[in-house]
Structure 1
């Protein structure tokens, strides 16, 4: 009984048909997203954004209103590790937050 060994041309064709492109580049940025919740006051969310991120009153208020009206807002983008640190800090303040990959 002879074993079936693929010919080099079959192997080349198979490799050409495979999509070996990475789904996401290593430098694809991540984002920290803060979600709306029924617990925290709007003034408290503004306070957190100002005290932790150093946002101006206007920017912190605009982002808080996005959370309130749209259900979420992106508060920062960057490396995954940095965004995980921001999300952990938001959790420490009692806010609901997650890390998401920024899609192109």
Structure 2
């Protein structure tokens, strides 16, 4: 189980160094602002689906309203895809993305 300290460095230009340093970077579910849904409805969805307390759901909704979007969940990609689909089922616009470093 010894390491070869003389191994040649990987000089391929397509290597994403950030990817190899942080392989388990989580994913995020992002809810985006839309012209259709009422603010009270977005709060209710966040409370019902994610179980957030009203204060948290309201803060997230205000981020959506003022900043155009809010990260509503973070974790494994498969779970974030399920969350985004659930948001679509509620009529909200949601996407997933890798969490920034």
Q: What TM-score bracket applies, with the shorter chain setting the length? A: 0.7 to 0.9
Q: 2-side partners of 1:103 and 1:66: how far apart?
A: 18
SS of the residue corresponding to residue 27 of structure 1 reads coil
The normalised TM-score by structure 1 is 0.80
1:55 corresponds to which of 52, 58, 65: 52
Q: In structure 2, list runs of 5 or more residues that go unmatched.
A: 1-6
Equivalence for 1:18? 12
Q: 2-side partners of 1:99 and 1:21: how far apart?
A: 20
Deviations 1:18-68 (A, max 9, x none): 254555244110000000000000000000000000000100000000000
Q: 2-side partners of 1:21 and 1:49: how far apart?
A: 35
Q: CA RMSD in A?
A: 1.9
The normalised TM-score by structure 2 is 0.82
Change (3 A) 1:18 1:59: same
Change (3 A) 1:21 1:33: closer
SS of the residue corresponding to residue 28 of structure 1 reads coil
Q: In structure 1, list runs of 5 or more residues that go unmatched.
A: 1-11
Instruction: Give the number of the structure whose alpha-carbon radius of gyration is greater.
Output: 1
Aligned length: 92
The runs of at least 4 consecutive aligned structure 1 residues that moved more than 3 Å come to 19-23
